[in-house]
Amino acid sequence: MSAALRELHDSLLSEEGGTLATYIPELARVDPALFGLALATLDGRVHAAGDADVPFTLQSISKPFVYARALADLGLEAVLSRVGAEPSGEAFNAISLEPGTGRPSNPMVNAGAILTTSLVSGDGPAARFERIRDTLSAFAGRRLELDEAVLASELETGDRNRALAYLMRNAGALRCEVDEALDVYFRQCALLATAEDVAVMAATLANGGVNPRTKEAVVPGPVAEHVLALMASCGMYDGAGEWLLRVGLPAKSGVSGGIVAVSPGQFGIGLFSPRLDVRGNSVRGVAASRVLAERFQLHLMHYPGRTAPVIARSGDARTLRSRRLRRRAERDVLHQHGGAIHLRALQGDIEFAAAESVLQSLGALPGKARWLVLELEGVTRLHPIAARMLDAAVAELGGRGIAVVTGDVHRRGLLPHASVEHASVEEAQEECEDALLARHGALLSPDTVLAWEAHDAWAALDEEARAALAAALPVRAYGRGERVLAQDGEELFLVLSGRVGLYGPGVRGRRLGSAGPGTAVQRPGQAGGGLVAELSTSGRVLGAAQQERLERERPRVLARLWKWLAGVGRE
Amino acid sequence: MSAALRELHDSLLSEEGGTLATYIPELARVDPALFGLALATLDGRVHAAGDADVPFTLQSISKPFVYARALADLGLEAVLSRVGAEPSGEAFNAISLEPGTGRPSNPMVNAGAILTTSLVSGDGPAARFERIRDTLSAFAGRRLELDEAVLASELETGDRNRALAYLMRNAGALRCEVDEALDVYFRQCALLATAEDVAVMAATLANGGVNPRTKEAVVPGPVAEHVLALMASCGMYDGAGEWLLRVGLPAKSGVSGGIVAVSPGQFGIGLFSPRLDVRGNSVRGVAASRVLAERFQLHLMHYPGRTAPVIARSGDARTLRSRRLRRRAERDVLHQHGGAIHLRALQGDIEFAAAESVLQSLGALPGKARWLVLELEGVTRLHPIAARMLDAAVAELGGRGIAVVTGDVHRRGLLPHASVEHASVEEAQEECEDALLARHGALLSPDTVLAWEAHDAWAALDEEARAALAAALPVRAYGRGERVLAQDGEELFLVLSGRVGLYGPGVRGRRLGSAGPGTAVQRPGQAGGGLVAELSTSGRVLGAAQQERLERERPRVLARLWKWLAGVGRE
C-alpha cells in the first residue's frame, strides 16, 4: 500500500498547475512544491508518501469536525434549525443565507461554519475553542497546535468573514458577538495538522466516530453518519455534485491545500498540496483523490459484483451430524427422525437484504422441523438490523414449536430469542440430537449406566469373547473434568455412562468431538490431545497388561474387539 | 418483509397531508388516497403493500433512467459537457442554466432532463422515444405503456417547459427543435408504471445495471454508479441535501406522487402516493422512505460495526494438514519441515481495505516459507480491486520463491498468478505437501510400488504375523477411476502405490480425504460412500475368507492388524 501511495505521489509531482491561496497572506508563503498523501486503515495503520508529516493549517477541513462536535452537543434537529444542509452550488465564501431568517445554507461554506462554531457548547470563546481543539485532537489522536502566524494573518484579513457574520447577526441567525464567533472560528482554521493526522481524522469518521488508533469514541456513530452525508452533498463547494459523480467519496477541502476524504467503513485519506484550482481545491489533491478512487474502486456507488449465498450450508440431522460418537441405537433414531433437526450455516456480511433472504429460507422449514441449529461462525459482520430481523424470526419459529439453537460464543446475546446458546455449533448440534433422542426414548439419562451386554462392542463379539472380556476389563469411573486414560498403559476406554470429550493437542486444545455410552475412545497418539470426562463418566478399560494376556490366551477376542474399534466413527 | 411493508403502509394511511399536483390537470383527477409500496431484492423477489400494482405516470422518475440511457450512449464526458452535475438548490422547474452556455445545472431538474432526452441516440423523435421506452421497459422488466390522457394534458399545459427549452435553444445548449425535444420528453413522463415496476427499476440500478428478474444488462455498471451518485446529490430537488442527511439513499421523486429510491447493492424501493408537499415530493412517500431507511438502517453512511478478521485461519503444515492419510515417513517430514507450507483462510466480503490487511499478513510470511495455500471458500465476495491486489501480491511472493496455490473451483481464474489452482483447498494442501515431501526425498513417485516390508502395517506386526500376512493377502491393482474394494467380502485395502480417494455417500459424494502408500482404507460402512483409485493404484486386499481363516488359524496376527488400523488417521 505504501508503495502504491509513493508511486501515486511521484506520478503527480510533475503536476504544477494551480496557485497558492492569497486571501490569507501567510498562506502565500508556504512552499508550493509540498505534496503529502496518507491513508489510515480502520485497524489503526497509517500509510504515507511524500510530505505527509509536514503540518499545515486545517482551514476549512476543520468544518466537518466542528460540525460533528455541534451535532454531538446539540442533536441533529437543533443544529438543522440553525444551519441548513443544502448545497449552495456556490463558492466557499458565498453569502448564501436563507431570506428572512439568515440561516446559512450549510455548515461547509464559511457562513454556515462560523455559525456552527458558535453552537459548540462552552462558557465563552476560550472554553469553546478549547473544546473544539480537544475534539479535533481526539479525531487526530494527538494534540493539535495553533499556527499563531497564520492566525494573526487571518485576523487581519478576514473582513469578508466579518461581513458574513454581521449579516447573520443582523438577521438574528448568529446569536453571539461577531468578534467572539470569529475569534473561535479563525483559531479552529489555524490549527496545524499533517496529512497523516488528517487521514486518521477521516478514518475516525469512517469508523463510526471511534478513533482507530486510540480507540476513543470521539462522537457517536449517528453523528459520524450525518457528517459524512453532509460532506458528500456539500463538501467540495460548487463542485460537490461533480465530485460525488466522479470520485464518489465524502470529502472536504481547505484553502491551505488540504483535502480530507473518507471511504466509509474502509479508511480515511489525508492529502496536502498547496496549489489550488479556481474553485479553491488542491490541484494535486483532487488529482490524487480521483486516481485513488478509480484505482481502488472506492466510489460510494460502486457495485462490487454478486456475493456468495448467505446460507453456506443447509440440511438436516439425517446427513449433517455432530461429531459425537453414538451407539447404534442412537444412530438409528437420528437416521430415521433426523429430519426434525435442521441446520443453516450463514456466512459473510449480513445486512438487511441478506437477512431478508435468510428469513425466506427459515419460513420454508418443513412442518416436522422441531429444532434449528443456526451456525454463525462464518458470519463476518452481523449488522444490528440483521440481528434484530433474525431474532424476530427466531421468536416466530418458537411460536411454531421450533427451538432455535446457536453456537459461537462470540455472538452470544445477539439473538435473545434463541432458546439455548452454546460455545460452539458442535455442542449446539449435540444438544439438539440429545433432545431428539430423548423424545424417542433413545437417550440414556446422565446417571444411567449402560449394561455391558448393551454396549455396541458386545454385538461384535462372539460368546467366548463376551465372557472373556467381561472378566478382563476393569470398570473405571471418572469425575467431571477428569482426564480419561490418564494412567500409563491404558489403551482403550469403552464408555458405559456419561460422556468423554476429545480435544486437540495443546493446553487449550480445540474440542474435536465427544463419545457417549456404547462407544469407545483410544489413548491419543503421539501427536497428543486429550480425553476429558465432560460428565460423571464410567466404562471399562483395556490396559496393556490385559491386552498382552488376551493376545497370548485369547487372540481371537482381541481381533474382534480391535476390528470393531477400527470401524467406530467411520460409518 | 411483506408483513413489515404492510404494517408500514397501514401506519401511514392516516397521513393525509399534502395536495395533488395541479400543473398537469390530468394528475389532479387521480384518487388522492392511493398508497403503494414495493421493495425488490437483488435475487429477484418483489415485496409489496397497498396499491403497489396501480399504474401511475413516471413523470420525473423517468429522468435518472433516461440519463442512464444517455450516459450509456454517449459516455460521461460527452454528457457532462452538455448537462452539469451540480445540485441547483432550487425547485424542479427552476431556470438554472449556466450563464453564457445555457448548460443546465443537472439532469434532474426539468431543463437538464429535456436536454438529456435530446441526447439519446435515435433517428428522429419517434425512434428516440422508442429507444427510451425500450430502456425504461428493460429497467422494469416489462413493456411500459403510455397514458395518452396525461400526455395530452402535458402537451396542453407544458408552457414552462417550453420556455426552458427555448431558453436553452437560444443559448445554443439545446441543439434540436424545441417541439421535437419536448415531444419525446412529455412522452417519457407519461409512461405508466406501478410501485412494483419502479422497485424493479431501482433494483436494476442497485444491481450494477442488471435487471435482477430478467437478468438483462440494461446499462453498464459504471453508468449505474454515475446515475446513483447523481440521484444522491440532485435527486430530491431543493431538499436533496437534507434528504441525503436524513434518509441517506439515492432517490428521485415525481410530481405524480412516485418516489424511486435505491439501496446500492441491496435493493430497490418504489413508492406511490399522489399527495405532495410544497417541494413536490410525495408526503407519504417521503415519510415511508424515512421509516424504511431508519428501521432497516439503509443510510449510505451507516457504519455497520466492526467486521470479523478477514483471515479466519492461519498456520503452517506442522499443524494444518490435508486429510490425506500418509505413512509415518511422510508424516515425520511434514512434522519437521511443515513450516515451509503456510495456509491462510480468508472469509467474508473482501474489498480494498480487507485486501490491504491480507497483504500485510502475506508480507510477513517467514523466510523459509515456500508454499502458500490461499483458502477462498469462506469468501463471500471478492471485489475486483481486491482480486487484483491479491494477485499482485501472489506475483510478488512468486518472486520471493513462494508458490501460491488456491482451492475452490468457483474462484478459478481470479488470481492468474497463483501457480496452481485446484478443485478444493484440500487438494491444494495435498499438492503442496507432496511437493515438500518430494524436496525431502520422502515422496514415492506414482509408479513406485512400496515394498510390503516398507508398509506401515509391517512395523506393527511381529515376525509370525509378517510371514502369515504376506502369504494371505493377495495383491490387487486398480486403474485410475476404478472403485476400490468393489467386490463383496473385501474388507481392507493396504495401499502400496497410487492413491485412493474417500468420498461421501451419494452419486456426487463430497471428497472426504485420500489415502496414500503405506496406509489403508476399509470398506465403507452402511452409511455408504465410496473409495476410488485417483491414480493407478495397487495394494494388498484382506477378504472375508482370508480373515476367517486367519481368525481360526492365527487370530493374533489379525488382532495386531486391526489394532494398527484402529489407530490409522487418529494420530
Quote the mean pLDDT of chain A: 90
Say if CB A32 and CB A20 are below 8 A apart.
yes
Give the pLDDT score at B409: 56
Give the pLDDT score at B23: 77
- What does the pLDDT look like over B333-392, one tens digit per residue? 999 999 999 999 999 989 888 999 999 999 999 989 999 999 888 888 888 888 889 999
Smallest Cβ–Cβ distance between A266 and the set B41, B266, B351 belongs to B351
Element of type H or E holding B435: helix B425-439
Q: Indicate which residue of A46, A120, A219, A255 is catalytic.
A: A255
Nearest-CA neighbor of B434 among B449, B444, B447? B444
- What does the pLDDT look like over A273-316, one tens digit per residue? 999 998 889 999 999 999 999 988 899 999 887 778 899 989 99
Contact between B567 and A233 using a beta-carbon 8 Å cutoff:
no
Kindly tell me the burial class for residue A120, based on how many C-beta atoms sit within 10 Å of its own C-beta (0-12, 13-18, 19 or more): buried
Question: Per-residue pLDDT averaged across B42-58, rounded?
Answer: 95
Q: How far apart are the CA of A298 and the nearest CA of chain B, in angstroms?
A: 8
Give the pLDDT score at B571: 57
Distance CA B543, CA B525 (A): 15
3-state SS, residue A401:
coil
Phi-psi region of B382 (alpha: psi -120 to 50; beta: other; left: phi over 0): beta
Contact between B347 and A380 using a beta-carbon 8 Å cutoff:
yes
Q: Which of A218-232, A355-369, A410-424 is the most confident on average?
A: A218-232
Helix-, strand-, coil-residue percentages of chain A, each rounded to 5: 45, 20, 35
Distance CA A365, CA A394 (A): 12
Q: Residue B77: CB partners within 8 Å, gap ≥ 6?
A: none
Q: Residue A321: CB partners within 8 Å, gap ≥ 6?
A: A334, A338, A429, A433
Strands A267-272 and A36-41: antiparallel
Q: How many CB atoms lie within 10 A of CB A541?
A: 18
pLDDT at residue A411 is higher than 70: no
pLDDT at residue A527 is higher than 60: no
Q: How far apart are the CA of B22 and the nearest CA of chain A, in angstroms?
A: 26
- Tell me if ipTM is over 0.90: no
Q: Which of B41, B215, B302, B325 to mutate to test the interface with A (most CBs of A within 10 A)?
A: B302
Q: Residue A427: CB partners within 8 Å, gap ≥ 6?
A: A322, A407, A511
Q: Which three cell numbers stand for residue B83?
A: 448537462
Question: Per-residue pLDDT averaged across A480-492, rounded?
Answer: 89
- What does the pLDDT look like over B120-176, one tens digit per residue? 999 999 999 999 999 999 999 999 999 999 999 988 888 999 999 999 999 999 999
Percent of chain A with pLDDT over 70: 96
Percent of chain B with pLDDT over 90: 63
A60 is catalytic: yes
Give the pLDDT score at A420: 61
Find out whether A46 is annotated in a ligand binding site: no
Judged by average pLDDT, the poorest of A301-310, A333-342, A476-485, B540-549 is A301-310
Give the pLDDT score at B528: 62
DSSP A247-291: T-S-EEE-TTSEEEEEETTTEEEEEE---B-TTS-BHHHHHHHHH
Which chain B positions have a beta carbon within 8 Å of A88's beta carbon?
89
B260 is catalytic: no
Distance in angstroms between the alpha carbons of the first and the last residue of chain B: 50
Smallest Cβ–Cβ distance between A229 and the set B301, B305, B527 belongs to B301
Element of type H or E holding A434: helix A425-439
Distance CA B402, CA B341 (A): 9
Residue of A nearest to B205 (CA): A303
- What does the pLDDT look like over A142-182, one tens digit per residue? 999 999 999 999 888 889 899 999 999 999 999 999 999 99
Distance CA B376, CA A169 (A): 61
Distance CA A298, CA A249 (A): 7
Distance CA B409, CA B421 (A): 8
DSSP conformation class of B144:
P
Give the pLDDT score at A2: 78
B185 is catalytic: yes
Smallest Cβ–Cβ distance between B566 and the set A1, A383, A565 belongs to A565
Q: Which three cell numbers stand for residue B488?
A: 463383496
Q: How far apart are the CA of B441 and the nearest CA of chain A, in angstroms?
A: 23
Question: Per-residue pLDDT averaged across B425-437, rounded?
Answer: 91
Q: Residue A134: CB partners within 8 Å, gap ≥ 6?
A: none
Distance CA A432, CA A420 (A): 10
Q: How far apart are the CA of B126 and the nearest CA of chain A, in angstroms?
A: 31
- What does the pLDDT look like over A179-201, one tens digit per residue? 999 999 999 999 999 999 999 99
Q: How many CB atoms lie within 10 A of CB A521?
A: 24
* Strand partners of residue B404: B372
Find out whether A154 is annotated in a ligand binding site: yes
Contact between B304 and A384 using a beta-carbon 8 Å cutoff:
yes
Distance CA B129, CA A224 (A): 44
Element of type H or E holding B427: helix B425-439
3-state secondary structure A110-177: HHHHHHHHHHCCCCCHHHHHHHHHHHHHHHHCCCCCECHHHHHHHHHHCHHHHHHHHHHHHCCCCCCC
- What does the pLDDT look like over A354-384, one tens digit per residue? 999 899 999 999 989 999 999 888 898 888 8
Task: State the amino acid at position A309 in one-letter form.
Answer: P
Q: Which three cell numbers stand for residue B13?
A: 394511511
Distance CA B147, CA A362 (A): 42
Order of strands across the sheet with A36-41? A46-50, A36-41, A267-272, A258-263, A251-253
The residue ranking higher by pLDDT, A135 or B428, is A135
Cα separations in angstroms, A410 against A210, A378, A382: 21, 12, 12
- What does the pLDDT look like over B282-325, one tens digit per residue? 999 999 999 999 988 899 999 887 778 899 989 999 888 888 99
Cell 505534496 belongs to residue = A35
Question: Per-residue pLDDT averaged across B52-65, rounded?
Answer: 97
Contact between B232 and A300 using a beta-carbon 8 Å cutoff:
yes
Q: Residue B453: CB partners within 8 Å, gap ≥ 6?
A: B466
Q: Which three cell numbers stand for residue A405?
A: 439453537
DSSP A297-354: T--TT----PPPPSEEEEEETTTS--SEE--HHHHHHHHHHGGGEEEEEEEEEE-HHH
Quickly state the pLDDT bin for A76 (edges 50, 70, 90).
very high
Quote the mean pLDDT of chain B: 90
3-state SS, residue B332:
helix
Find out whether A96 is annotated in a ligand binding site: no
Order of strands across the sheet with A530-533? A324-325, A511-515, A500-503, A530-533
Structural domains of chain B, with CATH = 2-295 (3.40.710.10), 311-439 (3.30.750.24), 452-567 (2.60.120.10)
Smallest Cβ–Cβ distance between A525 and the set B551, B562, B567 belongs to B567
Distance CA A49, CA A93 (A): 31
Q: How many CB atoms lie within 10 A of CB A506?
A: 11
Give the pLDDT score at B426: 85
